[in-house]
């Protein structure tokens, strides 16, 4: 893949406290993978180079609202998220308590996300972008290639990868700008993600490879 700012964009999934901060509810299961991959630093490097070299940046966030407690069934991770209150907000139109909460952006990413240029799409409701407007926003800007990173590697990132491929985009995953939980029963999600990235993505890159390709583009 060759990256050109005219048809290529960065898409970051869930750059939020809940899965990236030591205060987040996901930290106990994620900290090892985050440290091993240097995930936060690598995500920031991608953000920084994208802004410096004129690539559009899209954020696909994860939020839960009080009405979501009315769901009648959930999968294993959804059940855990609902019980713990991960990514919870007081309402679609209510920002009370968002600042600094688990649903808020990681503080060091805010200058990149809140610059008035980054496109924050509607929240995805489970794992993939089928339930938000990410594809519409990409199409409207004539984006055909995507540099993908964020959280979690084997859940929301992989789900976005699969749907974006089905929608006809070329997708490169930045494998060390993501991380996954090490679960005592379910296993290490990052290992599963890497295997599937290799089978599915048009490119699987390190952060070094991704930022260098963006600079050349």
Average pLDDT of the chain is 94
CA distance 90 to 12: 23
Tell me the whole-structure pTM to 2 decimals.
Answer: 0.93
Model confidence at 34: pLDDT above 80: yes
- In this structure, is residue 155 part of a structural domain? yes
The total domain count for the chain is: 1
DSSP per-residue codes, 66-80: GGGGG-S---HHHHH
Per-residue model confidence (pLDDT) at position 93: 78
**Residue 65: domain span:** 8-216
127-173 confidence digits (pLDDT tens): 999 999 999 999 999 999 999 999 999 999 999 999 999 999 999 99
56-89 confidence digits (pLDDT tens): 999 999 987 777 778 788 788 777 777 777 788 8
- In this structure, is residue 1 part of a structural domain? no
Where residue 111 sits, what CATH number does that domain have?
3.40.50.850
Counting residues of the chain whose pLDDT is more than 90, the rounded percentage is: 83
Beta strands of the chain (E only): which ranges? 8-13, 56-60, 119-120, 145-150, 170-178, 182-183, 187-188, 203-205
- In this structure, is residue 38 part of a structural domain? yes
- In this structure, is residue 2 part of a structural domain? no
């Amino acid at each position: 893949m060759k990256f050109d700012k005219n048809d290529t964009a960065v898409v970051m999934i869930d750059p939020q406290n809940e899965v990236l901060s030591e205060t987040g509810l996901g930290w106990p299961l994620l900290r090892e993978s985050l440290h091993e991959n240097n995930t936060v630093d690598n995500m920031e490097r991608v953000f920084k180079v994208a802004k410096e070299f004129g690539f559009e940046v899209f954020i696909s966030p994860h939020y839960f609202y009080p009405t979501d407690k009315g769901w009648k069934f959930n999968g294993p991770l959804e059940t855990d998220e609902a019980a713990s209150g991960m990514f919870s907000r007081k309402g679609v139109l209510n920002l009370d308590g968002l600042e600094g909460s688990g649903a808020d952006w990681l503080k060091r990413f805010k200058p990149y996300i809140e610059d008035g240029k980054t496109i924050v799409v509607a929240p995805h409701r489970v794992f993939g972008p089928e339930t938000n407007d990410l594809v519409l926003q990409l199409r409207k800007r004539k984006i055909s290639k995507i540099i993908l990173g964020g959280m979690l590697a084997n859940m929301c990132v992989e789900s976005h990868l699969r749907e974006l491929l089905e929608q006809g985009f070329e997708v490169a995953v930045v494998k060390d700008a993501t991380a996954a939980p090490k679960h005592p029963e379910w296993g290490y999600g990052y290992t599963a993600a890497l295997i599937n990235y290799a089978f599915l993505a048009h490119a699987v890159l390190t952060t070094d490879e991704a930022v260098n390709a963006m600079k050349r583009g």
